[in-house]
Amino acid sequence: MSENTKLTIEDLKKIRFLEGYTEEQLKIILQMCTMKEFKVKDILFEQYDELKDVAILLEGTLSLGISLAHEKRIHLGTIDEGQLFSWSAVFSPYISTAWVMAITPAKVISIDARKLNKEIEKDCDFGFKTMAKIAQTISHRLSDTRFQLMNQLIL
């Protein structure tokens, strides 16, 4: 993994997850961000790791899954460009519910979750937008999981 902090407001404007924020709010997010690059098979984090950053995939594809006994990895799905992951970093107990691994070279924007939570508390508009976006991500994951479950139950 390597770090590269050369991110600009223009980079952030291209990210779907960050649509709807004002220029000022994007400037605040920029101050919390670092860009990280990962090679194929790099593990971004393991299940049950303590998470400090929320992340958005900028380029590449990541695999998300859970681990069973004997470290057997069960691959549940992919994270595609523009998607948010590592949302557990925002909510107590800040422990990841899954592992994430790069399956292609990947560029990831990491947002410092401690700073993000402070801004959420400070600025209601920023806080509402951010929480609504994170809730939507979690809602989609839940809906997709139900869809997968029904596929298994019916077919």
Partner 1 sequence: MMVYDKNIYKPLKAKLIEVIEESPLIKTFVLIPEHEFSFKTGQFIELSVDGIGEAPFTPSSSPQITDRLEVTVMKTGYVTEYMHNLKPGAYMGIRGPYGRGYPVESFFGKEVLILGGGCGLAPIRSLLYALEHIKDNLEKVILCYGSKTPSDCIYKPLFARLNSIEKFEAYRTVDKAEEGWNESVGVATKLLDKVKVNIEKSIAVVCGPPVMMKFGTLRILEMGYKDEQIYLSMEKNMSCGLGKCGHCMMGEYFVCKDGPVFTYDELKNTPDIWK
By CB under 8 A, residue 14 contacts partner 1: no
Let me know if 65 is exposed, middle or buried by CB neighbors in 10 A (0-12, 13-18, 19+). middle
CA pair distance 21, 3, nearest whole angstrom: 25
82 belongs to the binding site for partner 1 (CB under 8 A): yes
61 contacts partner 1 (rule: CB under 8 A): yes
Q: Which two tokens stand for residue 109?
A: 């924007």
* Phi, psi at 149, each rounded to 5°: -65, -45
Q: Contact between 83 and partner 1 (CB under 8 A)?
A: yes
The reply on whether position 67 binds partner 1 by CB under 8 A is: no
Q: Is 39 a residue that touches partner 1 (CB under 8 A)? A: no
Measured over the CA atoms of residue 70, residue 74, residue 80 and residue 84, the dihedral's sign is negative
The number of residues that bind partner 1 (CB under 8 A) is: 23
Binding site for partner 1 (CB under 8 A): 16, 61, 63, 75-78, 80-83, 103-104, 140, 143-144, 146-148, 150-151, 154-155
